[in-house]
Amino acid sequence: MDLETLERTGPNYSVEKLLTARRKTTEAVLRIAEKICPGMLEEDARGIGQETLEQLGSTLGWHKTLVRFGTNTVKNYVDPSEPNVRLGNNDIFFIDIGPIWGDTEGDGGGTFVIGESPDPDMQRCTLDVKRIFETVREQWMASQMTGKELYAFAVKAAAEFGWVLNLGLTGHRLSDFPHKAHYAGTLGAISVHPSPNLWILEIQIRHPNKPFGGFFEDLLLTST
């Protein structure tokens, strides 16, 4: 599939609206994270996430609201969480949301630790997942790598930071809703160089030995 076909948009698309959706989505992720506390069930946290989005003005999502606690943070997006998992006093969690703001899609996620003395590797995870994202984004800006090549590069970048990259989650399009009318595949599957303001870069990592991981995603932008 050629780049023009992969990057089609609908009549309601604009970069301004997409960047506004990005800002609102980032705000929503942080607001949800502030409401999550030790002892909470993962199922309750997902409900809080949905309520928060509705309060901010997004009543529909193009994908489900996802919150993962502890050992569930290593699971792929499509995998169900182990039920009845409660957030520990010193624990890790991540948020992944896909709200629709008006007629434009948002997509955002981040990893957080909670407690006064969490595992140092958990704390490092929240930083490294963003660092790996930035390393891959910088490579995208500095080269003409295709989507496939970017994720091959991401595997190596994650390993250099001491993590294992989840290749079950390799980015996607974003646009005026629905982006799947234009392209429903992944960024990691394309054989062309992706343009700015149209693609989400997803990074999910796991610890090589411990049962936890982290997640971060954002639009591929030439400036942030």
pLDDT tens digits for range 114-152:
998 989 999 999 999 999 999 999 999 999 999 999 999
- Alpha-carbon distance of 97 to 126, in angstroms, equals 17
- Alpha-carbon distance of 177 to 76, in angstroms, equals 24
Query: Which tokens go with 114?
Result: 């909670």
Say which amino acid occupies 26. T
- Alpha-carbon distance of 7 to 51, in angstroms, equals 32
Say which amino acid occupies 40. M
Mean pLDDT taken over the chain: 97
Distances (CA, A) of 206 to 78, 86, 203, 213: 16, 19, 10, 4
Written as one string, the DSSP assignment of 130-167 is: HHHHHHHHHHHHHS---HHHHHHHHHHHHHHTT-EE-T
Sequence spans of domains, the chain = 3-219
What's the CATH number for 3-219? 3.90.230.10
Which pLDDT does position 118 carry in this prediction? Answer: 87
Contact status, residue 116 vs residue 91, Cβ threshold 8 Å: no
Question: Residue 51 belongs to what H/E stretch?
Answer: helix 42-56
- Alpha-carbon distance of 127 to 130, in angstroms, equals 6
Q: Each residue of 32-75: pLDDT tens digit? A: 999 999 999 999 999 999 999 999 999 999 999 999 999 999 99
Which pLDDT does position 1 carry in this prediction? Answer: 85
Q: Each residue of 70-95: pLDDT tens digit? A: 999 999 999 999 999 999 999 999 99
Quick one: DSSP state of residue 210? S
Which pLDDT does position 61 carry in this prediction? Answer: 97
